[in-house]
Amino acid sequence: MLPEPDSNVLPLDHLALRGAPDAPALLFKDRSLSFEALNRRIGQLAAWLSAQVPERGARIATWLAKTELACLMPLAAVRAGLVHVPVNPLFKRAQLAHIMADSGAVLLLSNKARLDTLEPGDAAAVLEEAAVWQAVDHLDPLGPSAGAADDLAAILYTSGSTGRPKGVMLSNANLWLGAVSVAHYLKVTPQDRVLAVLPFAFDYGQNQLLSTWFAGAAVAPLDYLTPRDVVKAVNRFDVTTIAAVPPLWVQLVEQAWPPEVAAQLRRLTNSGGALTPGLVRSLRTLFPQADLYPMYGLTEAFRSTYLEPALVDEHPTSIGKAIPFAEILVVNDAGHEAAPDEEGELVHAGPLVAQGYWQDAARTAERFRPAPPFAKMGGMAVWSGDRVRRDAAGLLHFVGRRDAMIKTSGNRVSPQEVEDAAVATGLVREAVALGLPDPALGQAIHLVVRAEGDDASDQLRAALVRELPNFMIPKAIHWRATLPLGPNGKLDRTGIYRELSEDLQGQGA
């Protein structure tokens, strides 16, 4: 049994003080930062930020790959009394402009190539990454901050089943306790080295930094082009831990791993989609010495459950039990606690629950509601909309999603965002985006469109490539002269899904 983790909350920037001063904290291909150097660089960056933006609580956005600036900003912004808004580097101009306007970010830090894609009015002010470091290098660092636990620390934008990305408000306590929780149940030690392959704009990706630094261990950020790059990085940095999503794990088990490199890994974690029994077997065969941690999470509450490695072989499809600081409830359709093996909605209560959606009271009220009366922790809870059941042994099993969200390659994609982009091209009158099962992607996006005239799928695809990030581009576009309507006059999404599934099955797809 692990001891109970420490529930004391400090401002997020204090994570830079967790490791031994001369121990490695951040590993790059050509250099590294010790914890002492990390703290100094964060202090210098915070000093520059506070001079540029003196208003406490102002939002600062970054649109970056996994550079040093991207790694330090989550802590430096807090030290400067600001709120960090990381933008997914895969997003393109339209998504960036929406996030800048919605968050009210007063400054965007990015590289020249990304900034060159912007149009007038997309951002209040911009600055290139290189210019930031030129201004920062000779500044005296700010010391550790003294912010409150409930001070807003970050806004992470996540797609909903309808509309554009919405900003989830995360406090110091949300992020600090999330780091404590993960470092605790993963048993991360100062000797570990974590390969950070996931985008820092995701809660799962950002926690790679935060939980590792809480444990006093080192992070190696990696923007990879091919799965082979991951294998090489494991060897180069003596990596012990990888966090990934199912599509990447599928690619990694297909690689030729030198036995001595595969043997370095001690810990594999998965979220962003379920592992199949076949993939679990492949991972266990390739990395028999590594503990495998399947997990389930919500951006609105960071992480909810994990499955202990000792239970994975016997229960490969379970999402496990609650992580530290979380209470996970299964609420049946009558509003009561579900009986064993009875399906219900997963509800997450406790201090990991976020503060709601940024400037969106209506959507906050839909998802963030008081915990049910039988909850032990009480307070505000996240009603996930996901259907689960708890077996007699207390393990949770995912049943399905109530909303129309598409999960592809570990990304949450709003169908409406893809549909709006298609209609905006002027090439189609109506569009329906659907997620169909795909062995490599989890779900593949299929776009069914109605338009007059000849099939212009190639033109439509080219237009979408210009406007949407790659993971939102449909795998297939299906051109139709008509689309079925339901009894309420709306597009019959269920009927379209059924028809498309039958067509693909008939084609052997």
pLDDT digits (tens, 9 = 90+) for 385-417: 988 999 999 999 988 766 667 889 888 888 888
Q: Which residue has the higher pLDDT, 268 or 415?
A: 268
Give the chain's largest Cα–Cα span.
68
Q: Across residues 432-460, what is the average pLDDT?
A: 92
Distances (CA, A) of 384 to 204, 279, 304, 337: 17, 26, 10, 15
CATH for 31-147 (2.30.30.110, 3.90.650.10, 3.40.50.980, 2.40.50.1020): 3.40.50.980
| Strands 59-63, 442-450: pairing kind | unpaired
Burial of 284 (0-12, 13-18, 19+ CB in 10 A): middle
pLDDT in tens, 299-332: 999 899 999 999 999 998 899 999 999 999 999 9
pLDDT at 243: 95
Q: What is the pTM for the complete model shown? A: 0.87
CB-CB contact of 162 with 95 (8 Å): no
CB-CB contact of 431 with 187 (8 Å): no
Residue 420 banded pLDDT, cuts 50, 70, 90: confident
pLDDT at 463: 96
Domain 406-506 has CATH 3.10.20.30: no
Residue 452 banded pLDDT, cuts 50, 70, 90: confident
CB-CB contact of 389 with 342 (8 Å): yes
**Nearest of 278, 272, 226 to residue 246 by alpha carbon:** 272
In this structure, the number of other CB atoms found within 10 A of the CB of residue 101 comes to: 13
pLDDT at 502: 87
pLDDT at 509: 58
Taking the C-alpha atoms of residue 129 and residue 135, their distance in angstroms, rounded to an integer, is: 10
Q: What ranges do the domains of the chain cover?
A: 31-147, 406-506
φ/ψ of residue 153, rounded to 5 = -110, -35
Q: Across residues 134-139, what is the average pLDDT?
A: 93
Q: What percent of the chain has pLDDT over 90?
A: 77
For the beta sheet containing 166-171, the strands, ordered from the edge strand earlier in sequence to the opposite edge, are 126-128, 107-110, 59-63, 83-86, 152-158, 166-171
pLDDT at 403: 65
